[in-house]
C-alpha cells in the first residue's frame, strides 16, 4: 500500500465513485472540479492501482469540506478509509487556521468513522441542505 498526496485521475475518480457506491459524477464535472481540490489523498497498490481516495475542497481558511472518501469494495474493512481520513486530518491540523469550519456529509454508517476524528452531527442547531445543478 502506497499513500500519496494527490488526487486521482478523472477516469480513476469517476470509476472509484461508481464502484464504491457514491453518486456518479460525469467526466466533465470531474475534469472541472478535481484541479480545484485543496488537498487530496490516494492509496494505491504497488502496481499503481487506486484502492482508496479522499479530498478536501474549500477556500483553505474559513470553510473546508471533506469529500469523496471512497474505498474499492475489494479492499474495504482493511483500514484504508481510516488512513485516508487520518491523512486529511493531518493536513487540516497543520494547514488550516483556528476556527476554520470543516464539514462533511456521511453516507450510511460512515458517520461512525467520522466521529472518531471529532466530527459530530449538527442538528438541530443547523441542518445540512443540498441541491444538484440541472
**Among residues 68, 39, 66, which one has the least CA distance to residue 53?**
68
Q: What is the pLDDT of residue 107?
A: 83
Q: What is the pTM of this model?
A: 0.94
What is the domain range of residue 94?
A: 2-115
- Return the pLDDT at 2: 97
Please give the angle made by the CA atoms of 23, 49 and 71, to the nearest 5 degrees: 40
pLDDT at 82: 97
Give SS3 for 12. helix
Order the strands of the 101-103 sheet from edge to edge: 2-4, 39-44, 50-58, 63-71, 101-103
Looking up residue 37, the CATH number of its domain turns out to be: 3.40.630.30
Cβ burial, residue 46 (10 Å; 0-12/13-18/19+): exposed
24, part of any domain: yes
Give Cα 100 to chain centroid, integer Å: 17
- Which residues does the chain have with pLDDT short of 70? none
Amino acid at each position: 500500500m502506497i499513500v500519496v498526496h494527490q488526487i486521482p485521475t478523472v477516469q480513476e475518480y469517476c470509476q472509484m465513485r461508481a464502484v464504491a457506491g457514491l453518486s456518479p459524477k460525469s467526466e466533465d464535472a470531474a475534469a472541472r472540479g478535481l484541479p480545484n481540490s485543496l488537498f487530496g489523498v490516494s492509496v494505491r497498490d504497488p502496481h499503481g492501482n487506486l484502492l482508496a481516495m479522499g479530498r478536501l475542497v474549500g477556500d483553505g481558511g474559513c470553510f473546508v469540506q471533506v469529500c469523496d472518501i471512497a474505498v474499492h469494495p475489494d479492499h474495504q474493512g482493511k483500514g484504508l478509509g481510516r488512513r485516508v481520513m487520518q491523512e486529511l486530518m493531518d493536513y487540516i491540523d497543520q494547514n488550516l487556521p483556528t476556527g476554520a469550519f470543516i464539514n462533511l456529509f456521511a453516507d450510511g454508517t460512515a458517520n461512525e468513522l467520522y466521529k472518531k476524528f471529532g466530527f459530530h452531527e449538527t442538528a438541530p442547531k443547523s441542518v445540512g441542505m443540498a441541491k444538484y445543478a440541472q
